[in-house]
Amino acid sequence: MADMIEREVVPGFRATAKEDGTYRLDRYTGHESALIVPAQLNGVDVTEIGEKCFAGNSYLTRVSLAEGITAIGREAFSRCFSLREAMLPKTLEKLGEGAFRESGLASIELPPRIEAVPPMCFRGCTSLEEVRPNENLWRVEREAFYGCEKLLGVDLPDGLEELDELSFAHSGLVRMALPRGLTRIGREAFAWCTRLIQLSLPDELEIMEDGACAGCIQLETIALPAALTELGVNPFRFCTHLSAIDVAPENDALVTQDGALFLRRERVLISYPLGLREKRYAFPAGLYEIGDYAFCGAGDLERLRLPMGLRRIGEGAFRYCDRLQRVHMPDTVQSIGHGAFRNCQRLDGVVVKKGSFAHEQLKAMRVNCIEV
C-alpha cells in the first residue's frame, strides 16, 4: 500500500502516491506561465489534480493537462486570475466543485466523459466568452456559470435534462434556445440575466422553479410548453418588459387570461406581466389565491379591487408596486402573506370590512386600513 504522504516528487510539483500506485498532484509551486502537466512524474502515472492544487496561482496563463488524468479536484484552479486557457484531456471523468471558480478563462471545452458541470465550476469567470459542451452532458449544477457576464450564449446539447438553481444567474446571456430533453429549470436559474431578450423553452419541459427568470428585464415574451405542469413562485418577477406569457393550448395545468398566468385547476394567479403597464387590473371571478410575488414590481398599477371569494394573498404579492394607492379587499380573505404590501410607498389605504380576519391581519402588518 502506498504511503499516502505528500512530497515534492520533481521541482515545482508536490504529489501524493495513491493506493492504486498513481500520483495525485497536490500543489504546484512553480512560476511557469504556460504549463503542461505531464502524464508521468518520475515514471509514475499522474491521474488526479488535487483540491486547490493551482488555486490562487498568479503566473499561469495557459495550462494543458496530459491524457490519462481523470479527475480535477475541488477549486483546483480557482482564483487563477491570469489563466486564459485550459486544455482538458479526453480521459477526464470528474470536475470538482468550483474547479475554475473566479479564474480568467476566456473559453473552455468540456471533454466527452464529463456528464455534469459541477456546482460553481465557472462561477465568477467574468472573462468567459465561449463554452463548448459535449454531447453527453445531462446536467448543469448550481451556480455553474453564475456571474459569467461575457457569456452571451451556450449551445447546450439535446439530452440535457436539468439546469440547477442559479446555474446561469447574473450571466451575460442574450439569446438562449434550451435543448430538447430538458425537463427542469431550477430556482433562479436565469435570474438577473439583464441582457436576455429571448428564451426558447423545449416541449419536454415539466418543471420551472421559483424565480427562474426573475429580473430578466429585457425579456418581452415567453412561450410555455404543454408539458409544463409544475411552476414555482412567480418565475417572472421583476421582468419589467414582459408583456406576453403564452401557454400551449394543450397545457392542462396553466392558462393565461388578460395577460396574467394562472394555475388552472387551483385558481391561483401566478404571474402578472409587468410590461402591460396598466393602471388597473380586472381580476377574474372565481379566483382563490394570489400567489407569492405575483404582482411584485408592478409599478404602474394604481387601484385594485380584489375579487369576492379570494381566500389567500401570498407573500410579497404586491411588493414594490410603487404607484399603488388604493386596494379594495373582500372579507373572504383568510390569509395574507408576509410583506404582501411592503414597499408600496404611495398606498394610502386598504378598504376592508371592520372586524374581518383580513382587517385584523392588515392591522398586525401595520398597513393602513380604511374600515367599512
Encode pLDDT of 18-51 as tens digits: 999 999 999 999 999 999 999 999 999 999 999 9
CA distances from 7 to 26, 28, 47 (A): 9, 11, 16
Which pLDDT tens digit goes with each residue over 184-236?
999 999 999 999 999 999 999 999 999 999 999 999 999 999 999 999 999 99
The pLDDT of residue 52:
98
Residue the block writes with cell 452532458 = 137
Is the model more confident about 59 or about 8? 59
Q: Is the pLDDT of residue 1 over 50?
A: no
Candidates 147, 145, 319; CA nearest to 237 is 319
Q: 392542462: which residue's cell?
A: 252
Residue with cell 411588493: 319
Spell out the alpha helix ranges (H) of the chain: 357-364
Cβ-contact 226, 251 below 8 angstroms: yes
Q: How far, in Å, CA of 45 to CA of 23, rounded? A: 6
- What pLDDT sits at residue 3? 47
Tell me whether strands 175-177 and 198-200 are parallel, antiparallel or unpaired.
parallel
Are 292 and 269 spatial neighbours (Cβ–Cβ below 8 Å)? Answer: no
Helix or strand run (H / E) with residue 244: strand 244-247
Rounded to two decimals, the pTM is: 0.94
CA–CA separation, 245 and 235 (whole Å): 11
- CA 166 to the chain's CA centroid: 2
**Residue scoring higher pLDDT (312 or 10):** 312
Q: How deeply is 134 buried, as exposed, middle or buried, from its count of CB atoms within 10 A (0-12, 13-18, 19+)? A: middle
What's residue 4's pLDDT?
A: 60
| Confidence class for position 2, pLDDT limits 50, 70, 90 | very low
- For the segment 166-178, the average pLDDT, to the nearest whole number, is 98
**What does the DSSP 8-state code read for residue 363?**
H
Q: For 191-199, which contacts have Cβ atoms below 8 Å and span 24 or more sequence positions? A: 191/166, 191/215, 191/216, 192/216, 193/168, 193/169, 194/218, 195/152, 198/174, 199/175
Q: Which residues contact 44 (CB under 8 A, 6 or more apart)?
A: 9, 17, 21, 22, 23
